[in-house]
Amino acid sequence: MDILEKITQLRLERNWTEYQLAEKSGLTQSTISSWYRKNMLPSIPSLAKICNAFGITLSQFFVENDEENVVLINDRQRRLLYYAAKLEEKQYTALINFLETL
Q: What is the pLDDT of residues 13-70, one digit of tens each?
A: 999 999 999 999 999 999 999 999 999 999 999 999 999 999 888 888 988 765 555 6
CA distance between the termini of the chain: 41
pLDDT at 4: 96
What is the chain's Cα-based Rg? Answer: 15
The CATH number of the structural domain formed by 1-65 is 1.10.260.40
> What is the DSSP code (8-state) at residue 20?
H
CA triplet 57, 61, 67: central angle to 5 degrees? 110
Check residue 65 and give its pLDDT. 61
* CA dihedral angle for residue 61, residue 15, residue 83, residue 76, rounded to 10 degrees: -70
Cβ atoms of residues 49 and 59 within 8 Å? no
pLDDT at 67: 53
Helix (H, G, I), strand (E, B) or coil at 38: coil
Instruction: Specify the length of the chain in residues.
Output: 102
Residue 79 in this model has a pLDDT that exceeds 70: yes
Quote the pLDDT of residue 82: 86
